[in-house]
Structure 1
Amino acid sequence: MTADPTGPAGAPPPAPDAWTGQRERSNLATLRLMRWIATTLGRPVARLVLWPIALYFLCFGGTAARASRDYLARVLGRPPTWVERYRHIHHFAATVLDRVYFLQGCLCGIDVTLRGGDDFDEALLDGQGMLLIGAHVGSFEALRAIGHQRSGLKVAMVMYEDNARRINETLQALVPNGGLHVIALGRLEAMLQLRQWLDDGGVAGMLADRTLPGASARSHLHRLPFLGRPAAFSDGPFRLAALLRRRVMFMTGLYHGGGRYELRFVPLADFRRRGAGPAAQDAAVQAALQHYVALLEGLCRESPYNWFNFFDFWAAAEEVPQVAPPPAAP
């Protein structure tokens, strides 16, 4: 079992149990086998295979299984039962399987409902594109289901170079012709590419609930309360939105079991206003980050089995000094 290697930069060297230090359990051959099962045998049969897979990782998942148990204890407020632990891992396995269908543009009996769609459509009307900030909660790929209703919608994923290479390998193994556009940050031309993508009315998604080693001068880590204990969050995605002067919207695709997904959109911030000084911009960035973390915590409590960060999410915060909030804008 593996979680997506995506997230913003701006973190100190990871703690021993950080997600970047964990060996990937799945490999390309396994992913290609999953693709074959999904496309050849069909979704009903493929879902039957998930039951023994989830049971195996519950029993032998090592660090990931322990992280799942510890997270559930935190969000539920008590030690989880074995059934609850199994359900958590099975939810993750089911969303990995369904990526094949989403990336192929074939819903195959998957029912996707929409919440906050009016806010999403309104944000697209100005033709300036927007950034969608998500998390390792549910399925970001479920966004592609909107493409069946909104022809011409262009979606790209934004991530850093090493992550882009790994996720491209993963997607190539799952869906060779999936057509997911990836913008790899780290070079000057990448920023120009992202700006052009947005200027053409496209949307670009980032997952903002992980941090990477290698500090960035343009982003900072913040220790924010999350499920009862401080956790480290980077403000990098929001500083990027402020630099590009774009709207920011929270997006998630919650998995509700079987073939049911719920796409949810919530406005986070609007950085299109020009003329704001550095202090006002810092305050706006931190307000957006705090809103994001509050939304994320609310989703975890509402739908706890959709959280797919299988590592000690709170460990990195111990290395981050507490930063005083910027002064409020005049």
Structure 2
Amino acid sequence: MSSPAPPADWARQRERSNLWVLRLMRMIAVHAGRPVARLVLHPIALYFLLANGRARRASRQYLTQVLQRPAGWRDSYRHIHAFAATVLDRVYLLQGRLAQFEFDTRNVPDVEAVLAEGKGVVLMGAHLGSFEALRAAAQGVGTRAAMLMYEDNARLINATLQAIAPQAQLHTIALGRPGAMLALRRWLDEGGMAGLLADRTLPGAASGRSRTRTLPFLGRPAPFSDGPLRLAAMLRQRVFFMAGLYHGGNRYSLRFEPLVDFRAVPPDQLEAAIAAALERYVALLQSMCREAPYNWFNFYDFWQSDADAPAPPSP
């Protein structure tokens, strides 16, 4: 089922970050070290669990679906703590302190084979695990990685990450800005990787010809936009699914799965290829949510079961 993409609830609300808190966390992380900083996560996660009722309800809604049993307070606490842990690890990942972490990788040679041709790849991820782990690992082997997002979000993300790691070299490409498509094409033609998180429906005014399809996800129908795939199709790029799953402690699993190669799709088969790739994306997302259920960081009513209640901003 498809229809024009509606304005997304999450896009109506600006995602806010308390920069002084992030700077405080950076100071604790840098001067006290990771073991001590991780102890601070417990009161932070508990406070968030008690103070943010809407996020708590969304967490329990999602966990009930993915765990296939009623989720309780302990499950939601573990969920929120996992999110806080990945935020803390951004400090170290952005500073290039990769030796503190263990990375398990899958299908990296498939991506490297494309990059070896001198061409870039589009990486479609989700609010699942840590994109920062993927970006840091890519830079660690000399590959350039950029994040695609809309201009307001790009400005906020840059301010947030600069508060965490002022010396970090960050690169974002702000969609919707004049020249953005040219910048993206140049980035990919020069062999860079461009990642975007594709598990939220795009704002209607910015999504162009994209459509929102309702697909089964964790046992219930959920909306997914094909806009990222249409962007890659327009640029004739190869697309991979990406995820940086957090497995507790200092362990991350970096996953890359092929979705579609638009370089080889004839024009008359483009719509079918986009539909098939979106279905594969959702299937991979569902599989990895079940593998690492506490890695899903969409703290709002993803299934839109309460249409009258706007979704809260992502933490």
Matched residue SS, 1:184: strand
Q: 1:13 aligns with which of 7, 10, 31?
A: 7
Aligned to 2:175: 185
Matched, 1:173 2:163: yes
Aligned to 1:54: 45
**8 Å contact kept, 2:17–2:160:** no
CA distance in 1, matches of 2:239, 2:44: 37
1:109–1:136 CA distance, 2 compared to 1 (3 A): same
Q: 1:28 aligns with which of 16, 19, 25?
A: 19
Matched residue SS, 1:133: strand
Structure 1 residue runs without a partner (length 5+): 1-9, 320-330
Deviates more, 1:214-223 or 1:294-303: 214-223
**8 Å contact kept, 1:127–1:199:** yes
Query: How far has the Cα of 1:286 moved from its partner?
Result: 1.1
Query: How far has the Cα of 1:33 moved from its partner?
Result: 1.0
**8 Å contact kept, 2:215–2:224:** yes
Matched, 1:212 2:202: yes
Query: How far has the Cα of 1:21 moved from its partner?
Result: 4.8
**8 Å contact kept, 1:253–1:264:** yes
1:22–1:75 CA distance, 2 compared to 1 (3 A): farther
Aligned to 1:116: 107
Q: Which amino acid aligns with 2:141?
A: R
Query: How far has the Cα of 1:93 moved from its partner?
Result: 0.3
Matched residue SS, 2:163: helix
Map residues 31-180 of structure 1 onto 2, 5 A cutoff.
Answer: 31-107=22-98, 109-147=100-138, 149-151=140-142, 153-180=143-170
Cα-to-partner distance string for 1:34-83 (whole Å, 9 max, x where unaligned): 11111111111110000111111122222111100111011111111322
Q: Which amino acid aligns with 2:62?
A: Y
Q: Which amino acid aligns with 1:291?
A: R
Matched residue SS, 1:287: helix
Aligned to 1:315: 304
Matched residue SS, 2:302: coil
Deviates more, 1:293-302 or 1:79-88: 79-88
Aligned to 1:5: none
CA distance in 1, matches of 2:254, 2:32: 27
1:304–1:114 CA distance, 2 compared to 1 (3 A): same
Matched, 1:197 2:191: no
**8 Å contact kept, 2:202–2:227:** no
Percent same amino acid at aligned positions?
A: 63
CA distance in 2, matches of 1:270, 1:208: 17
CA distance in 1, matches of 2:250, 2:111: 23
Aligned to 1:328: none
**8 Å contact kept, 1:231–1:316:** no
Q: Which amino acid aligns with 1:290?
A: E
CA distance in 2, matches of 1:131, 1:142: 17
Query: How far has the Cα of 1:318 moved from its partner?
Result: 6.7
**8 Å contact kept, 2:139–2:145:** no
Query: How far has the Cα of 1:217 moved from its partner?
Result: 2.7
Aligned to 1:280: 269
Aligned to 2:235: 244
Query: How far has the Cα of 1:149 moved from its partner?
Result: 5.0
Q: Which amino acid aligns with 1:306?
A: N
Q: 1:295 aligns with which of 284, 287, 307?
A: 284
**8 Å contact kept, 1:241–1:248:** yes
Cα-to-partner distance string for 1:82-123 (whole Å, 9 max, x where unaligned): 222211111000000001111111125211111112212122
What CA RMSD, in Å, does the superposition of the two structures yield over aligned residues? 2.0
Q: Which amino acid aligns with 1:178?
A: A
TM-score by length of 1: 0.87
Aligned to 2:312: none
Query: How far has the Cα of 1:218 moved from its partner?
Result: 2.2
CA distance in 1, matches of 2:174, 2:200: 16
